[in-house]
Amino acid sequence: MKKITSLLICALLILSIVTNYAFADGPVVKESTSIIYLEDGNYFEVRLLENSSAFRTNSKSGSKTYTYYDHGSAVWAVILNATFTFDGSSATCTSASCSVAIYSSFWYTVSSGSSISGNTAIGTASVAHRLLGVTVQTIPVSITLSCDANGNLS
């Protein structure tokens, strides 16, 4: 009787683990990258990441990152994260946040913020370049991340 009970408990544990793994709500990720060249030879790398649930077909989260390259080196990035719901006839942005990552001590964040307008998340930031304690350049950035009625991010 003890062997049967032990076997039954082991079988239930294995079934529980397999079921949790099979129905895990892990993200399905799509990624695209493009480059925006600036007049001074520097550029932005624009990276769009799309995360969608394997089982929740009516919601999607994603991010759009503008990374600024100065003479080939990444010096800062502005990141917009957003979550959307959609149903085939419309889409709505449900949350948005904007942050700045600084990779060079010569640059600093002046401001950053986010807002929502219907199916679009909007991120704004201002990043400045400082030399010898003096601000010599300020770059404003505005990022939009939208979702269409079918859940496609752009």
CATH number of 58's domain: 2.60.40
User: Cβ distance 67 to 53 under 8 Å?
Assistant: no
In a domain, 12, yes or no: no
Q: What is the mean pLDDT of residues 96-109?
A: 95
Question: What are 104's two structure tokens?
Answer: 């060079």
Q: Which residue has the higher pLDDT, 58 or 27?
A: 58
**How do strand 59-70 and strand 73-86 relate by DSSP bridges?**
antiparallel
Find the domain containing 116 and state its range.
Answer: 25-146
Tell me which residue of 80, 73, 81 sits closest to 106, measured CA to CA: 73
In a domain, 138, yes or no: yes
Look at residue 53 in the predicted model and tell me its pLDDT: 64
Asked whether residue 128 carries a pLDDT value surpassing 70, the answer given is yes
Look at residue 24 in the predicted model and tell me its pLDDT: 43
User: Cβ distance 138 to 130 under 8 Å?
Assistant: no
In a domain, 3, yes or no: no
In a domain, 15, yes or no: no
Confirm whether pTM is higher than 0.85.
no
In a domain, 152, yes or no: no
Look at residue 23 in the predicted model and tell me its pLDDT: 40
In a domain, 86, yes or no: yes
Look at residue 58 in the predicted model and tell me its pLDDT: 86
Look at residue 121 in the predicted model and tell me its pLDDT: 97
In a domain, 13, yes or no: no
How many domains are contained in the chain?
Answer: 1
In a domain, 50, yes or no: yes
Q: What is the mean pLDDT of residues 91-120?
A: 95
